[in-house]
Structure 1
């Protein structure tokens, strides 16, 4: 189904979001749109919604199964304002996930368990949000793949990830409880080309709607408990988003593209497109879910 605008969607089609979990995909360019949507449909989301510029096309097999809203996040409301508008009309408790095109959600055991099963368990642990790490993907050969995108030749960094305490300005910059700022990947290795406010790789990409909840531009929420990586009594599930977004940006930006001839380094490894690799590298946490 194709909907002409965000306003029309909120007025006439918001009822389609009543059953979750719902995946919201923001399409910024024409790279890997179809594979992104198919990946999240196969993960078991009850509804996949694509906010994308009107000039882009969808594959025929997706036209009737994806809710498509004509919306350009670069020119109209940005992603966080769209999410906040959706939160305001969705039933409280509905699970929402959001990402961008050429990004792919992975969670523990996702090869044989649906995202709904995972979120049911997470909710039973009294968690209303799930931390995810945006793990950069990049093509191994930029001469063969100038936009840095290749599903068949995708690589990731196997090391170089770290966390720092997140200071609380309202409490004399003491560290916030169970909150950390995570770094690594291309934003760390090429930090001279990335503004400081965009260097973090943590994103609360899975969360439950509730009255008054606000998503902020830095991917954190107005409810501080939503921003925590675990509950007070034990470790919780976390997820990973395998993403070409940073690599694409570094190679499309005139200020960085001519300085970068390869993303390969001694800690590059082929991406296996399997949750086991991400678990082994410590890039997501199974918590108590076995």
Structure 2
């Protein structure tokens, strides 16, 4: 009881759990920076490289990589975690959300941009070589440390959005939505867009609209040979027919599942929940594979 107003014990416990979740992911990010190898190591696993994390070898942690091996861009993630810690020390509210959002975006985007821009041979793009000159220091794919740090920063960004009032302030829902969105962008949108961009380059790696036209407007894709006694039609028409059959079949099955969910017994609810996820998971992979095969990048 405070000033005549009863304290809601459940709401207080939920607020404490939310604050605990924020501090937990900040701690996970810091521990990953210190205790795990930042980069993926060839011919060995990440846990075998843990004894090297405080050394100067390729198995060093993120702080050692940044401080002793010239990869100063890795400090961006650490700066993001510091900003998130400042926000976590504040009372829950919009101010805390702004700090969490700023820290999470700074760290996650900074590490992602540097990861794509700097590769095993220095700059990954010729334009960066022309603008800044050759880069003497390179980097390889991220390992356990980098992966966990970026995951923590993405979730802290989601927590910041929740504190700003998005997703009705629910940290779990915000984390789930933002996490799924990031995974779809990374594993579906990025590969598909890269495959589409590859259609504009010829065999010598030069940009060419002719190469795009040749790949897209070809008999193999748009041919109608099956209508004139040929063996088969083009990929586009086969895909359209398959899409129509799939749409009709899934609509019918979805109707049956909805009837079972509404009128069936409780014992069918568990399997139905599992089956209900399949329409969400399957299409992106089918689209990605279809585009890869369509543009001859198999």
Quick check: TM above 0.5?
A: no
Higher strand share: 1
- What is the TM-score with the length of structure 1 in the denominator? 0.25
Which structure has the larger Rg over C-alpha atoms?
2
- Report 1 or 2 for greater relative contact order, CA contacts < 8 Å, sequence distance ≥ 6: 1
TM-score computed with the length of structure 2 as normaliser: 0.24
Higher helix share: 2
